[in-house]
Structure 1
Amino acid sequence: MDRRQALYQTSLLLGGAIIGAEAILSGCAPSNQSSAKSALFQAGDEALLDDIADTILPNTTDSPGAKEAGAGAFMMLIVEDCYEEREQKIFVEGLKKIQTESQTQFNNSFNALNAVQRYELLLDMDKTAAAYESSKETDAPPHYFSLIKQLATFAYFSSEIGVTKALRYNPIPGRFDGCVEYKVGEKAWA
């Protein structure tokens, strides 16, 4: 075989691989599941989750709050993709209960409340959730506010802002030291 014939066959082989790659790789594209997910959350739920998470983990002088970390979008993603149907239902109904309680106590939606009102409302729910969790049966479902609070904390401390600004972060750690003395008031390690 001469050189021209070899180049010609190689170009046909590579050209076919490039042109045909789209048909082969189209199976790797994520399927459109928006119809299943759109039924779980409503339009304003991301903003509501941001406000709830930001009330739990607000801005401080040392670190930004959960809203700036994008906790609401992360929380929705985790609930949609990782929670079982039972926990999804508890979570979504919990958001409705927070809005209902906000209307009952303050005659306004949670998003329209000021920081003190939000804090008071969530503090009452946290006390109720703690009492429920301490007295519940082993197989009983979790309290909705426990799910929301745990996920807000996880979302924040999984974000870049939470890891690098709220915690002490070392991108290139040295040796492992399992016993580091902790001084009161220091940030925990990421």
Structure 2
Amino acid sequence: MNRREALKGLGLSLGYVIATPTLLGMLQSCSTKAEKWTPLFHSENQAYVLERLVDLILPKTKDTPGALDVHVPKFIDLYVHEALTDEDKDIYRLGFGAVMSELGILNQAIDPEQPITLKDEDYDAILSKYLRISKAQRIAYIEAQDIVFMTLSRIRDQSVWAYRTSKEIGTNVLVYDPVPGQQKGCISVEEATGGRAWSL
């Protein structure tokens, strides 16, 4: 597989936006497992990095749980393992390897007693470099077909998607009505839901 084809595949990162019952079932299975997570697709190093990135993308606040609280990294791992084609897995693997290389830990051995020694500032720096950018910088990365940018964008999109469709967020943070029965089209969001978005 060449780099151009890989980047095209990464550019289709929003192709999973429609949450089917099977995918929602996958997410719920992640939410109920309290034991230590053993990744199905990612290596131990990659799983560790994925957790750190996702935690910085959607951190816990005083009012809402974070991505780690609703097991977003586990869902991403399960989704990649179960839902992607072999070709898409190769693309994802290539992109994640580029992120690991950018962090300087591509070939670092994993030690369960001493995990990767990067600090949160190191992960935050790569997110700032590639995701907290101006429109002009984003266009430049796209035109350059930057694989790290495409991969981090995909991880961010998957994280937000998994977070919003988790049971905890869908029923306790967003507005949830299991049997909607009325339409009020001419009122503000503040009046209808107190300013909160609807759960899908």
Which band: TM-score by shorter chain? 0.5 to 0.7
Whole-Å Cα distance in 1 between the matches of residues 103 and 120 of structure 2? 13
Normalised by the length of structure 1, the TM-score is 0.60
Structure 1 residues 54 and 99: alpha-carbon distance in aligned structure 2, compared to 1, 3 A threshold: same
Aligned residue in 1 for 2:124: 119
Q: Structure 2 vs 1, CA of residues 136 and 170 (structure 1 numbering), >3 Å: closer, same or farther?
A: farther
Match of 2:161 among 154, 162, 177: 154
Name stretches of at least 5 consecutive residues in structure 1 with no aligned partner.
1-36
Q: Offset of 1:64 from its aligned partner?
A: 0.8
One-letter amino acid of the counterpart of residue 58, structure 1? P
Greater helix proportion: 1
Query: 1:163 aligns to what SS in structure 2?
Result: helix
**TM-score where L is the length of structure 2:** 0.57
Cα 1:178–1:73 change in 2 (3 A) is: farther
Query: 2:71: which partner in 1?
Result: 70
Partners of 1:168 and 1:87 lie apart in 2 by: 34
In the TM superposition, residue 145 of structure 1 has moved relative to its aligned partner by: 1.8
Name the counterpart of 1:24.
Answer: none
Residues 31-74 of structure 1 show CA distances to partners (whole Å, capped at 9, x for unaligned) of xxxxxx96x42234333322221111111121111011101111
Question: Number of aligned pairs?
Answer: 145
User: Whole-Å Cα distance in 1 between the matches of residues 185 and 90 of structure 2?
Assistant: 40
1:130 corresponds to which letter in structure 2? R
Unaligned runs of 5+ in 2: 1-38
Within 5 Å, which residues of 2 pair with 1:1-190?
40-103=41-104, 112-126=117-131, 127=133, 130-131=138-139, 134-135=142-143, 143-178=150-185, 180-183=187-190, 186-190=195-199
How far apart in 1 are the matches of 2:144 and 2:176?
37
1:132 positional shift: 5.5
Structure whose CA Rg is larger = 1
CA contact (8 A) 1:50 1:70 kept: no
Contact 1:51 1:67 in 2 (8 A): no
In the alignment, is the contact (CA less than 8 A) between 1:91 and 1:147 conserved in 2? no
Identical columns (%):
24
Q: Deviations over 1:1-35 (max 9, x none)?
A: xxxxxxxxxxxxxxxxxxxxxxxxxxxxxxxxxxx
Q: Structure 1 residue 161: deviation in Å?
A: 2.3
Q: What RMSD over aligned residues (CA atoms) do the two structures have, in Å?
A: 3.5
* C-alpha contact (below 8 Å) 1:63/1:165 kept by paired residues: no
